Chain A
Amino acid sequence: MNPMPKWVRLVVPALIALAALLAWEAVVRVREIPAYLIPAPSLVLQTLVSDWPTLWPSLLVTLKITFLSLLLAVVGGVALAFLFSLSSWVELSFVPFAVVLQVTPIIAIAPLILIYAPNTLTALLLCAWIVAFFPILSNTTMGLRSADGNLQDLFSLYGATRWQRLRYLLAPSALPYFLAGLKIAGGLSLIGTVAAEYAAGTSGKESGLAYRILEASFRLNMPRMFAALLLVALTGISIYFAFNALSRALLHKWHESELDASR
């Protein structure tokens, strides 16, 4: 099979997307569908611009919670994975908690968290963190265990300390696994944030995009719902591409998953 040139792989999906948008626009105009049922793409864009003063602060709130929770998930997940690698007792004791947190749907725990958390921001952070934390923990734990057995022996032979083994052997071995976990956790932290914002439903200056969607739906303000949804989707896409780029930058020199296609 001939590999497609790069420009084809970029241009074809873009053309399809454009065609779909044009068809949408055409159907709405020709059949004169009112904006409170389905807004035309042009109106959504227009609303995005006109409602920017409301949407922009909300986008910032959502971004803040998403990235803060992701950061905490990375710190917590990696630290706990390191602890697991040092002591199987710690692993044995903590894994059940991690699994319970992971398998219980966040939307079901969120109301409880909202009651007990001292403020909404903490509650939102906690919800998003619970969702994003597990892939980092489980992937990093697996990565730390995946170090080559002969290299382990080599480190023993030269009398490596625990810290040297962790720093020079286990951490680099775990990096591809961690990055794969990060790609998943990035998307999940946004999902967790949006789910928690729905559950919280507070207004005021600390409201994120999900609250704007909820608010607009109460008012049947469909164009604004679509505009806010567009921003959520764009945030997710940006996170996805950013972490793919990070993974590529860190691994392309040596790891099978990110080797240069030209080689």
Chain B
Amino acid sequence: MNPLIELRNVGKTFANGTQALAGMSLAIAEGEFVSLLGPSGCGKSTVLRMIAGLAVPSEGSISKHTSDSGNAAAGIGFVFQEPTLMPWAPVFDNVFLPLKLQGVSLADARPRIAEALALVGLEKFARSYPRELSGGMKMRVSIARALITRPRLLLMDEPFAALDEITRGKLNDDLLGLWSTHGLTIVFVTHSVYESVYLSSRVVVMASRPGRVVADEAVAAPYPRNEEYRLSPEYAAACRRVSHALHGATAPAQS
């Protein structure tokens, strides 16, 4: 089977000469939950932006099979580090945005918006403005908006980094639920070893200057995962393994 996303020898050099990424190859199969883990500046966000089509690789190529039609956006959802909501619009309009931009009428969109808000547990907040919501709720709106187009691939750029531990744990579990019930493929950028091992079926460890892949670790533990998994020896072992790979990647740069 063809991978959903395939990067072949992708490099990215910015206009100012900074080499953000060099020779990166990565294949992501349908249904995977892949974390890109690495220190800041290792180009993990750049990889995500290139997959989304928001940035163009300087070298190499990226092939996508996220959508059967020509419209690439139809198959991809993106969640930013900040909730990135329109402050002037209520939650309902924020979630409606992707469909509105694609020309879907309000009448057709209404049930889908209600469904997306129910998925993230915010059906009662459709008329609230973003500033009236907590950080975690705003992030839920952002996820609902990303899911409204029913994408096959969900790209997430350190989405929970700014949230407190408790909220993050809850959102991690909810995200795993959405992933398994919707048959999504998720590429999740993070700098937390624990978060990546808890969530993903596969952790891609990256190093910086230039950004590159240094390890590709499968996390074999079965789903569904819960608090019990977080306390299990296999979770600890996987964290140690990934942490070791990450440390090996960052140590030379620090010395």
Q: Chain A: residues with CB nearer than 8 A to chain B?
A: 148, 150-151, 153-160, 164, 168-169, 172, 175, 253-255, 259
Contact = CB atoms under 8 A, between A and B. Distances in A.
Given A253-B129, A254-B131, A157 B88 contact: no
A151 B78 CA distance: 11
Interface string B100-112: 1110000000000
Interface string B57-95: 000000000000001010010101010101111000000
A168 B87 contact: no
Contacts of B120: none
B98 interface: yes
A148 B84 contact: yes
Given A155-B101, A158-B98, A168-B100, 12 more contacts: A153-B49, A153-B52, A153-B78, A153-B80, A154-B98, A157-B73, A158-B73, A159-B73, A168-B86, A168-B97, A172-B89, A254-B88
Main DSSP-derived SS at the A contact region: helix
Interface residues of B, number: 24
B84 A151 contact: yes
**Sorted from nearest, which 9 A-B pairs have the closest CB atoms?**
A150-B84, A158-B101, A172-B88, A150-B80, A254-B87, A160-B101, A254-B88, A158-B98, A158-B73
B53 interface: yes
28 contacts: A150-B80, A150-B82, A151-B86, A153-B49, A153-B52, A153-B78, A154-B78, A154-B84, A154-B98, A157-B53, A157-B73, A158-B73, A158-B97, A158-B102, A158-B149, A159-B71, A159-B73, A159-B101, A159-B102, A160-B101, A164-B101, A168-B86, A168-B97, A168-B100, A253-B88, A254-B129, A255-B87, A255-B88
B54 A175 contact: no
Nearest to A160: B101
Contacts of B88: 172, 175, 253-255
Nearest to B54: A153
A159 B76 CA distance: 12
A157 B100 CA distance: 13
Contacts of A153: 49, 52, 54, 78, 80
B102 A157 contact: no
Contacts of A159: 71, 73, 101-102
Contacts of A164: 101
A154 B79 CA distance: 9
A191 B86 CA distance: 37
Contacts of B76: 157
A150 B142 CA distance: 12
